């Protein structure tokens, strides 16, 4: 009988393990998070709030009104960027909470199973007591054949009573574990709801900040007295940026050539000493020569004459915060904030070809980084001289800008 009881218990444990594994399959290993991870994200949010307070102090200062419009726009863009980072931070916290809730739900599931298991044991023992009654304990004692047998039977009865007490205590503990797990789950859900409310507030705040920044540029562009100077400033800035791009591409070419020669000498040295040749190590990333769209959207302004000037790229309208992708593989030669372009990135694809992505809300790659075609390099924004979220996209070949539409 003892062997049968052990076998049944083993089967029960096996079934419990199968249930646990089936539930675990629903939750990917990567989904497991801790409250500590969420707390670290909240610390990041506090830092963004601190930085934004500093920017707001600049805006509220008397000196702000004496800045040029573009200098004001740069400060407003800085505030918008921080608000966008706050939104991204809150979205990440929400994702963490969603995963944490799944884990908490699993903990409740396990606690309920343990409680049910203890409840069945308790019910089984109660049924035994109802069927046999307390008199069975007395019968065990009265059936003793000697004093030593009586002592042994007393110990046996004591063990049974202690086991009954432990069964009841285990049931109470299991119930408390279930209640605690449920309370913890509800608390986590409540914290998630708070983050969702905070997200809505930040998104409204971002829209207000964008409108304020856009209005500043609209007023600047509507001022007839400044139109001529504005066009001259735009042309001068475009020329400056193009010179910087050409210089960066030439510097990258020299760097790549120096690296190529170094590897060649290294291979020759290894060949002379070992009679063989090495693999040569990693290679510089070059473009495929076929460009893809940097974001999903509608072209609102093409390449060529515009408002008495010459539009050097195309504008692709897209929602604020949408992904911006590398149009082709290459190496980042510029990643900065610059006047009318706002946040912009330039990628060199080799053979004197570059692409430029401007007005980004944030930049995800830095100078010197290699990027692959289709890789996210930043997010759509409205920084710089812009009155709506979009990506200003330029293509340069051999030092001169060309119509991007002919390359896409």
pLDDT for 8 equals 39
Q: Identify whether the C-beta of residue 277 lies closer than 8 Å to the C-beta of residue 267.
A: yes
Q: Which residue has the higher pLDDT, 66 or 405?
A: 405
Q: Identify whether the C-beta of residue 408 lies closer than 8 Å to the C-beta of residue 294.
A: no
pLDDT for 316 equals 96
pLDDT for 12 equals 45
Dist CA 141 CA 134 (whole Å): 12
Has residue 151 got a pLDDT over 80? no
Report the CATH number of the 235-270+293-406 domain: 2.70.70.10
Work out the angle at residue 35's Cα, subtended by the Cα atoms of residues 30 and 37, and round it to the nearest 5 degrees.
60
> Boundaries of CATH 2.70.70.10 in the chain?
235-270+293-406
Q: Which residue has the higher pLDDT, 289 or 14?
A: 289
pLDDT for 6 equals 38
Q: Is 354 helix (H, G, I), strand (E, B) or coil?
A: strand
Rg (CA), the chain: 35
pLDDT in tens, 70-123: 888 889 999 999 999 999 999 999 998 888 888 888 888 888 888 788 777 767
Structure tokens at 140: 């065990």
pTM of the model: 0.69
Dist CA 64 CA 68 (whole Å): 9
Least confident of 78-92, 172-186, 280-294: 280-294
Dist CA 175 CA 64 (whole Å): 62
pLDDT in tens, 367-393: 989 999 999 999 999 999 888 999 999
pLDDT for 318 equals 94
Number of helices and strands in the chain (H, E):
6, 12
Per residue in 37-64, is it b (16+ CB within 10 Å) or e — as a string?
A: ebeebeeebeebeebbeebeeeeeeeee
pLDDT for 153 equals 57
- Tell me the pLDDT of the chain averaged across its residues: 79
């Amino acid at each position: 009988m003892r062997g049968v009881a052990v076998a049944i218990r083993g089967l029960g444990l096996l079934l419990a393990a199968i249930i646990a594994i089936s539930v675990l399959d629903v939750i990917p290993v990567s989904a497991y998070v801790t409250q500590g991870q969420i707390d670290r994200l909240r610390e990041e949010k506090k830092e963004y709030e601190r930085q934004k307070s500093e920017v707001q102090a600049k805006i509220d200062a008397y000196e702000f009104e004496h800045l040029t419009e573009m200098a004001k726009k740069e400060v407003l863009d800085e505030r918008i960027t921080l608000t966008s980072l706050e939104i991204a931070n809150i979205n990440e916290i929400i994702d963490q909470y969603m995963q944490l809730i799944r884990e908490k739900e699993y903990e409740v599931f396990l606690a309920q199973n343990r409680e049910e298991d203890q409840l069945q044991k308790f019910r089984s023992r109660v049924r035994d007591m109802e069927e046999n009654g307390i008199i069975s304990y007395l019968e065990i004692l009265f059936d003793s054949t000697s004093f030593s047998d009586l002592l042994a039977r007393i110990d046996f009865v004591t063990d049974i009573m202690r086991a009954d007490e432990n069964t009841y205590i285990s049931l109470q503990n299991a119930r408390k574990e279930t209640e605690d797990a449920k309370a913890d789950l509800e608390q986590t859900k409540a914290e998630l709801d708070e983050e969702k409310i905070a997200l809505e507030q930040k998104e409204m705040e971002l829209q207000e900040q964008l409108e304020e920044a856009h209005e500043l540029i609209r007023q600047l562009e509507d001022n007839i007295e400044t139109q001529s100077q504005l066009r001259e400033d735009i042309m001068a800035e475009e020329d400056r940026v193009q010179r910087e791009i050409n210089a960066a591409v030439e510097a990258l070419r020299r760097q790549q050539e120096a690296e190529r020669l170094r590897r060649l000498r290294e291979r020759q040295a290894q060949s002379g000493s070992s009679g063989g040749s090495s693999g040569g190590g990693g290679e510089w990333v070059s473009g495929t020569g076929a460009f893809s769209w940097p974001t999903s959207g509608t072209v609102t302004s093409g390449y060529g004459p515009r408002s008495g000037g010459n539009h050097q790229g195309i504008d692709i309208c897209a929602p604020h915060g949408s992904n911006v992708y590398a149009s082709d593989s290459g190496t980042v030669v510029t990643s900065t904030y610059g006047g009318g372009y706002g946040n912009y990135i330039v990628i060199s694809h080799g053979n004197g070809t570059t692409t430029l992505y401007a007005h980004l809300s944030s930049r995800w790659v830095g100078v010197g980084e290699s990027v692959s075609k289709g890789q996210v390099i930043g997010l759509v924004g409205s920084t710089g001289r812009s009155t709506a979220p979009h990506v200003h996209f330029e293509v340069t070949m051999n030092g001169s800008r060309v119509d991007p539409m002919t390359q896409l």
